Amino acid sequence: MATLELYSKGASVWIPDPDAVWVSAQLLNDYKPGEKQLSLQLPNGNEVQYPVSSPSDLPPLGNPDILEGENDLTALSFLHEPAVLHNLRVRFLDYNSIYTYCGIVLVAINPYDHLPIYGEEVIDAYSGQDMTDMEPHIFSVAEDAYRTMTREEKNQSIIISGESGSGKTVSAKFTMRYFAVVGGASQQTSVEERVLASNPIMESIGNAKTTRNDNSSRFGKYIEIGFGKNGDIIGANMRTYLLEKSRVVFQVIFHWWVSLLRLRTSH
């Protein structure tokens, strides 16, 4: 909770809204402990009274305008739900950016469209660069993992998570494409394409229709990519985990398909 002194006349706050979830409002008077309501002005000019039973009920404070559209959420003065949602919205609508950092975490918004930001020229731009020196991108995360692996000779993991239809499989594909290019395998073996070629098989098991995806798989995918001493891709292995077996109608068919999922690729 921010100090009460920040709730002064002219301060920006966020209040719940049934349609927009959160809307910005401006304090018309200083808040004084013990007051039961705040006088606020909405962006459309309307004035509203916001009930406050105690200081813990005060609405979240807004960030300074200078921080609007920050590419790293941890740089915001106030990091709460309305601040995060607003910053992501500004970056998506005003900056045409679907990626935003939150420390070492990359937040991605699915544009449900093909964007020209994954070509080899973009891969070349991120290759060898530090995450802090580049705009947020999935290639930056892949580069950080790849360089740490080759420098320290230790295994690295990239966790891609999200709800149904959020674009996890596509993100995994772009990550592997990056590894294939920087590892020198894009023109020789197309390892990432061979690994992802199993997707139709994997998506045919334990799927379920959701509000955002007609064919949502009920399990996770673990893709293990092997690299040689020179940093080049030498193979890959894909397997599933946490399968909701209750989604499978015929157990015999399930066992038959699982045998097909033991995919290995190599030069």
Name the nearest CA neighbour of 145 among 134, 154, 136, 156: 156
Please say whether the beta carbons of 134 and 126 come within 8 A. Answer: yes
Angle between helix axes 168-182 and 138-152 (nearest 10 degrees) is 50
**192 appears as a binding residue in the annotation:** no
How far, in Å, CA of 176 to CA of 180, rounded?
A: 6
**166 appears as a binding residue in the annotation:** yes
**168 appears as a binding residue in the annotation:** yes
**169 appears as a binding residue in the annotation:** yes
Q: Within a 10 A sphere around the Cβ of 18, how many other Cβ atoms?
A: 5
Name the nearest CA neighbour of 59 among 73, 45, 39, 89: 39
**203 appears as a binding residue in the annotation:** no
**54 appears as a binding residue in the annotation:** no
Residue appearing with tokens 């699915």:
110
Please say whether the beta carbons of 37 and 48 come within 8 A. Answer: no
**163 appears as a binding residue in the annotation:** yes
**12 appears as a binding residue in the annotation:** no
**Which uninterrupted H or E stretch holds 126?**
helix 120-126
Residue numbers in the known binding site are: 162-169
Residue numbers in the known binding site for ATP are: 162-169
